[in-house]
Structures are given as structure tokens and as C-alpha cells.
Structure 1
């Protein structure tokens, strides 16, 4: 009923008003075989009362859609560095939804969230900076993207140049401070 702006949390009640006598109006079905839940009420002559037990449970079928919010990527952390081409992207999402992972807007992986609303999926990184986002997907469509998580893949070995002590120097100390520069 979200298309009508009706959103509820927890139990909800539906009122059905039959304006004409049976069989000249749509009827309300009853479940006389199951245990009576004691939750059906009737309004007769402007007075509300619990429906008789022998009438069973009044039934109105309703599809309940739960709001699905953007997933949250919990690992890797934003600003992380990696020397591994593949990382496991973990996070939280609405339970039992599809989760799509994007790198710079391009879909690179998909998985299902668990009944507890967690997900984990391997993702291959591109060399340099990667901007990962996640979207939850249902048959109704996709959520907005999660907050971005930036991960830098650096697989090149750095080059080091030692500037102090100079090559061949002799030192008469137990500890030596080594200074240098990193290139690449």
C-alpha cells in the first residue's frame, strides 16, 4: 500500500465496509479450519464487537513490502591500501536481497544477503584507486548506492635509496639510524 503513502511498522489493521447485503457486494472470506486468533472484529449497527469464534478468522490478503535501504560496506575500510588484487567486500543489507558491488560505477560482483542481513563477496581490484559502492536489489528495483569506500591497490615493489649512512661507512655505535627515500 506504499503507492498510497501508507507505511506501517508492526501489526496493522484493515477495515472492510460492506455497503450492500450479501450476495450483492463482495464478501469477506473467513478461515474456519485454523485456530481462531481472536483478532477479528465486526461492526454491526454501529457497534464493534469481537466476531463469533465459529465464524473463524476474517481474511484479507496483503502483500507486505519492507523498506530496503542502501547497504553499508563494513570491510575493507575507506582509505585502505592493498597489495592483493582480490579483496572480500563485506557489509550489511536488508535480509535476503541481492547485493550488487560497483567499482567506479561499473558492476563487478553480485551476491545474496543472508537472513541476518550480512553479505560477503570477492572483488577483483584495478591497479590504483578503486571506489567501491553497493546497491541492494529486489524485484521492485534497486536502492541508491551506499557511501563509497576507496581502496588503493598497489602491487608494484617500491625502490629504496639509502642516503645515510653511505655505502662503506664504518660506525662505532650499537644502533644506527638508516635514512633514505622511496621511489615508485
Structure 2
């Protein structure tokens, strides 16, 4: 019999995915990704463009989801990253790990439960200067009930991926 915690997670996940989406044993498709040849880790990148073309620096500096431009693009970890200005591109180039979303840009809650879900780049949190992207507003609301706990779980899951990619 599942524990109360496990059952509560299933119920919460059902609510998060709800509104007409039937739960089944079939997993949603893994979002398009590119693999960083250096680390072996996937980066959520539709058509090779990270975070759907949004400017990662704007999230952290301005706390806004701002579309980037191909005019201000750079390549990092096998994906193209777009920015809203040359200044933001330069900030990213100087320290990409500071501005890049956690978990390769996959959904933060999904990573915490061991899944790779695509995100809505307009739904995010910046906690302690780190960018966390979410699948939708409902998932973000769930995430915000226990961000420290989910961050710890997602960090552990991501570290395991890093270790397994290196072996």
C-alpha cells in the first residue's frame, strides 16, 4: 500500500495535470533536447534553441521573462541561447552557469520527481539567484508549497544524472 506521502503526491500531481488531462501509465514525450558533448547532459532546446528563445539573464537581473533575439545569440552546451541585448549576452558569456536555468532548462518540479518536462518560459522563479523554470502555473503553485524541499530533491536527481553521464 502506498504511503500517505506517495498518495498525496499522486493526488497533487493529478490536480496539477488536471483540467481534462487523463492520467495514464504513458509518460508525456520528453521535450526536444540537445546533448552537451562536454558533460553528456541534455539541455531543453526546441530546434536547438534553449528555453524557447527567452533571455536567461533577464530572469535573474530583471525578474522578467523577456524573449531574446537571434541578433544577440551565442552557443553554450550545444544549444543556441538568445538575449534581448548585447549587454545580456556579454554577462552570460562571462558566467553562463550563473544565468542558465537549473536542470538544463527542464521543469524544476519534474526534475524533483525524476522526469524531464518541457516548460512555459513565462512561468519561473528566481531563488537565491538561481533560475527555475516550470511547466505551467499549476506546477509552479505546487512547487511554491515547498521550494527548498523540491530544490533538494531536484539537485539530487540532477547530480545523479551528472554522475551517470560521466561514467
TM-score interval (norm. to shorter): under 0.3
TM-score of the superposition, structure 2-length normalised? Answer: 0.22
Quick one: higher RCO (CA 8 Å, sep 6+), 1 or 2?
2
Higher Rg: 1
TM-score (norm 1): 0.20
